[in-house]
A and B are shown apart, each in its own frame.
Chain A
Amino acid sequence: MATVGRALLIVAFAVALYGVGASLYGAFAGGRAWVDSGRRAVYALAGVLTIAFAIMEIAFLRSDFSFDVVATHSSTTTPTFYKATAAWSSQEGSLLLWVWLLSVWSSLALLVTRRRVREVAPVATAVLLTFASFFLMLTIFFAQPFTTLAAVPQEGTGLNPLLRHPAMMFHPPMLYSGYTLFSIPFAFAIGALITRRLNAEWIVSTRRFALAAWLCLGVGIVLGARWSYTELGWGGYWAWDPVENASLLPWLTGTAFIHSIMIQERRGMLKVWNASLVLATGTLAILGTFLVRSGILDSIHAFGASTLGVPFLILIGAMVLGSVGLVVWRRADLTSEHRLDSLLSREAVFLFQNVILVGLAFVVWWGTFFPLISEAVTGTRASVGPPWFDKYIVPLAFVLVALSGIGPLVPWRRLTWASVRRGFVLPALAALVTVLALLAVPGAWMEPKAAAFTGVVAFVLASVGQELWRGMRARQASARESAPVALAGVVRRNRRRYGGYVVHAGFAVLLLGVAVSSSFQHARDISLRPGQSARVDGFDITYVRATARAASEKISLGAVLDISKHGRHVATLRTTRGFYPSQDISQGIVGRFFGGESESEVGLRAGLGRDIWTVINPNLAPLTPIIEQGNRTFRRAMVGIMTGPAAKRQQAVAQLYALRDAAVTAVARRFVTSPWPADFRFIVSPLATWIWLGAIITFLGGLLALWPAPAAARRRVSAGYAARVARELARTTQ
């Protein structure tokens, strides 16, 4: 079936190239039939790539080690759940996933818009298929997912143990969905610029895809952060790692875009800004993909130096030059229809928010690429770390969150003093009360920035709560409904508005969790024997007993810890460190079971008040002498078997391996029977869980904003306003 997979990639490449030609020919000379054929090429591409992707998935699930990518990223002992995700743990598989998702989302976008944006869509189709052609070219010539092995191994290398986490099942597909969905407004923007159809229609048609992209990319980013917090043994969730930053960049500019397009929809303003933003977002999405694949920046995530850097650079260069050229070429068609009425208006708040978001993106971009920039400027590669990022990100984030509370209170077009009195008093009071209440919390004002930020968050939450309350009351006044029904009704009829407000509230909660957990965190590294205790932030942590488990997949050495406070039991934590067998036989018959990859299982007690987090790092040095003795003993036995009678060799080898398994288990058990001090890291983080809760609220708000209203309800509402305006029209024309 590998042959089928390879052939299907070539078929897909041909279809993509045909689709580019047909769409462009149809748009400028050939007419509707060729345009439709080009669009259908996208549907066909999705179908072909679905089959190809399924072939790869089936190979992983069946542990078909004739596939090179399966042999090097999976094993028979990998759980089925992770066999499925192993498909995109490799360079080759992840590229195939990317182009498959691109084809699926592009098909959806073109299906939904097939009777609209008729001049723009063919050019957009050509752009999307150009992206698909590029990625298919990579999978055919540079990183082939269907390469087979001449000699098929009995066992695979296995999935990197760090990737054996539920978040890793969804993190890459969500990230890539975000990147590929952002390609859609990018492509339509290119189409609009080329065909000079730069008014409302193309924006309205692709707005939902931009929002879906924002949502998927955001979920992917949060899943990555959650994986880092619960899987990696450092206790953090964000390290300003280059690949983390690369996914954040398009999310920041995408956030700016989904706000500023509202201004263009309403007032025909910011056309140059919006065109530049969406083109930048699409380019940054490809840049993010490039950073992970090229190895150009050192990152724990990077796939390592590869040959893909040059093709990606060429594509990104073309996108940047093409985007700038198009915007400059069409600047006459991008003039605003109106001007800003007032600096005190929702339009102005959105504009200011956009500037902050672009500023954040610039800071992140500069810090991420600084090693390359410094090398180009000074000849020496230098890097900046988290303190540099925090110096600029923190104040900008502060302002951003404040604006997310101010925006909902400010009407479109102009704000009056009466509006300020009606809208701002309650949220401002909530902020003040919160800040004063914190004076009563011991130690709260030792971190004044975090305390002040809490006040800003209170402002945001009060502002959103006030808007929901007033909306509910307004509906009750007209529809005579109960409070819950009225609230549901007003939200259902104004999903975009209230979905956005919920996003603001969730984001404020998320950043509050970040601010407080990082400002008031207590961390301690300590070495403990069973029975010994340590104190961290008022909690007494006792190392109760050591644990050891030897299974076919890994050896786990761990600890059971008792957490108590003021003599009262709070929690029992279990943490382990897993050691996977290595394929390197030079480490010895016994030694290789302790010499492969290792990963931590975090002990975590999460709560609304605080998280208690721990990892163990058992030092294997005390086992070294016994492991080396085992290596020598079993090597001598193996030599003896190999030089002995051939007839009994197979049986003898099988017996030897059984003895070896028992020996390895016994060696691991020594951690329990004769325990030695193990190193622990303990972290107590207040409000850390609010990060994840805030993220959930944010994305629920995004879903609400994205969800379309039923068509009948839309027509009813629209018809009502149409009738009113029609009456006005009739009066003015009489």
Chain B
Amino acid sequence: MDPSRKRRIRLVVALTAALLAASALIYTSFSAGSDEKTAGQLLDGAVAGKTYTLAGTVKDGSVRRADGVLWFSVRDPHRPVAVRVRYTGIVPDPFRAGRGVMVKVQRGAGDLFVGEKDTMVTKCPSKFQVAPPRPGSGGPASLT
């Protein structure tokens, strides 16, 4: 066979294989992806048995730990609603009230959502936008 024709065939085969592989990858990403939802969106339309990624801010005063389970509420950024989350697993070090958090959840009873183990991610605390401390505030942080 003419070498240039052989090369063209090889190129076509390779490109077709690449296209098929990319298509499979793209298709599975849309089926495997979990939708990012706010608390309000979950309350309005979450169905039991489906996994969602809840994104929002941890509500002040809502964090409680008991028997290896973490309980907290996540506020909706746009509406005055929150969902309660029951979570087990890794809790990232920066987790605390008032911080952004993302966690995979499934609907439980009422406004309770059960977090999937080890799926929590927190936003790095935005120290870069924190106002500098006022002079003399809080006294010297000195402990012997």
Contacts and interface: CB of A to CB of B under 8 A. Distances in A.
Does a CB–CB distance below 8 Å link A and B in the complex?
Answer: yes
Interface residues of A, number: 82
A85 to B, nearest CB: 14
A71 B132 contact: yes
B143 A664 contact: yes
Contacts of A235: 90
Contact of B135 (A90, A151, A387, A621): A151
Interface string A633-675: 0000000000000000000010001001100110000000000
From B34, B67, B127, B140, name the one whose CB has the most chain A CB atoms within 10 angstroms: B127
B93 A91 contact: no
A366 B132 contact: no
A180 B112 CA distance: 48
A384 interface: yes
Interface string B44-82: 000000000101000000001101100000000000000
Contacts of A91: 128
Interface stretch (A471-479, A481-489, A591-599): A591-599
Interface in A617-641: 617, 619, 621
Interface string A296-307: 001111111010
B125 A583 contact: no
A91 B125 CA distance: 13
Given A380-B35, A550-B143, A304 B129 contact: yes
A151 B134 contact: yes
A450 to B, nearest CB: 20
B138 A149 contact: no
A89 B33 CA distance: 32
A81 interface: no
Given A149-B132, A232-B93, A298-B102, A621 B127 contact: no
B94 A162 contact: yes
B91 interface: yes
From B26, B32, B137, name the one whose CB has the most chain A CB atoms within 10 angstroms: B32
B143 A300 contact: no
A87 to B, nearest CB: 13
A526 B67 CA distance: 9
A50 B40 CA distance: 51
Contacts of A77: 141
From A157, A300, A391, A581, name the one whose CB has the most chain B CB atoms within 10 angstroms: A300
A385 B141 contact: no
A428 to B, nearest CB: 26
From A73, A235, A583, name the one whose CB has the most chain B CB atoms within 10 angstroms: A583
Contacts of A521: none
Contact of B28 (A65, A388, A592, A597): A388
Interface string B118-135: 110111111111101111
Interface residues of B, number: 58
Given A234-B90, A552-B142, A367 B21 contact: no
Contacts of A152: 135
A388 B32 contact: yes
Contact of B33 (A239, A298, A355, A374): A374
Contacts of B118: 234
Nearest to A620: B65
A300 B89 contact: no
Contacts of A434: none
A552 B141 contact: yes
B128 A304 contact: yes
A161 B141 CA distance: 16
Interface string A68-105: 10011100010000000000001100000000000000
Nearest to A93: B128
A306 B133 CA distance: 21
Contact of A304 (B25, B65, B124): B124
A593 B36 CA distance: 35
Contacts of A153: 132-135, 137
B68 A581 contact: no
B93 A233 contact: yes
Contacts of A301: 124
A298 B143 contact: no
A525 B124 contact: no
A584 to B, nearest CB: 8
Nearest to B118: A234
Contacts of A525: 68, 88-89
Contacts of B100: 298
B25 A366 contact: yes
B136 interface: yes
B133 A583 contact: yes
A445 interface: no
Contacts of B124: 160, 299-304
A339 interface: yes
Contact of B136 (A154, A598, A665): A154
B87 to A, nearest CB: 12
A469 interface: no
A313 interface: no
B91 to A, nearest CB: 7
Nearest to B97: A595
A371 interface: yes
Interface of B: 3, 7, 14, 18, 21-22, 25-26, 28-30, 32-36, 53, 55, 64-65, 67-68, 88-94, 96, 100, 102, 104, 118-119, 121-130, 132-144
21 contacts: A71-B133, A73-B127, A151-B135, A157-B132, A241-B121, A300-B122, A359-B18, A362-B25, A367-B29, A383-B33, A385-B34, A385-B104, A385-B119, A388-B29, A392-B25, A550-B143, A551-B143, A583-B133, A619-B65, A653-B139, A657-B142
A-B complex: 5 closest residue pairs judged by Cβ atoms: A382-B33, A304-B126, A71-B132, A234-B90, A381-B36
